[in-house]
Amino acid sequence: MISLWELLVVDMFNSFWLAVIGVVFVMWLIFMVGKVSQVTSLNFLSIFILAMAIGYSNPFIAILTTLLILVNQFFIIPKLING
Helix (H) or strand (E) holding 15: none
Q: Find out whether 65 and 72 touch, Cβ atoms under 8 Å.
A: no
Q: Give the dihedral of Cα atoms 31, 59, 14, 72; nearest 10 deg.
A: 20
0.85 surpassed by pTM: no
> pLDDT (tens digit, 9 = 90+) per residue, 19-44?
999 999 999 999 999 999 888 888 88
Residue type, 77: I
Output the CA torsion 68→65→70→25 (10° steps).
90
pLDDT bucket at 83, cuts 50 / 70 / 90: low
pLDDT at 5: 83
Give the model's pLDDT for residue 6. 86
What local confidence, expressed as pLDDT, does residue 72 receive?
80
